[in-house]
Amino acid sequence: MKKLITGIVLLLLCQTVFSQQQTPAPTLTKQEYLQKSKSQKTTAWILLGGGAALLVAGTAVFADDFNLSEKNSGTGGGVMMIAGAAAAGASVPFFIASARNKGKASAMGAGIKLEQNLMIGQNGFVLRNYPAIMIRVVL
């Protein structure tokens, strides 16, 4: 029985070795990362706005159905509220992915970016912006 289990485990390990990717996936350029970030941010804003509108409309329908003396259960408004909250919640991963792709694009190559420095001003501490040259060296 031990030989059979050992043989099956070895066969499964060999299968994963042959299933590995031979060529690495192509890396994206800075412009492609920026375009991907822009489309993800647009998607996120659409989901957030649509979800908020659906949530408000669902709340209005639910409150209207709830206040009527008829025996409406308000399920239409409740479903709209849940769908709106789900759409608004679904926008969060798109915002995160957009920020990650924008960070990847900004980390590529050389460029100029604004850095902040904490300085003493007349009324206390002040954050001052100054331009900085950014160069990335991949080792």
Q: Which residue did the predictor score with more confidence, 69 or 37? A: 37
Per-residue pLDDT, 100: 94
Q: How much of the chain, in percent, has pLDDT values that exceed 90?
A: 35
What average pLDDT does the segment 56-82 reach? 78
Residues 31-45: tens digit of each pLDDT? 899 999 999 999 999
pLDDT at position 131: 86
Q: CA–CA separation, 118 vs 113, rounded Å?
A: 17
Sole residue written with tokens 């059979």 = 4
Contact 116, 132 (CB under 8 A): no
Residues whose CB is less than 8 angstroms from the CB of residue 102 and which lie 6 or more positions away in sequence, other chains included: 33, 34, 37
Q: Label residue 73 by pLDDT band (50, 70, 90).
A: low
The DSSP code sequence of 72-92 is ---HHHHHHHHHHHHHHHHHH
Taking residues 102-131, what's their average pLDDT? 82
The predicted model gives 126-135 an average pLDDT of: 83
3-state secondary structure of 59: helix
Residue 69: the pLDDT is 55
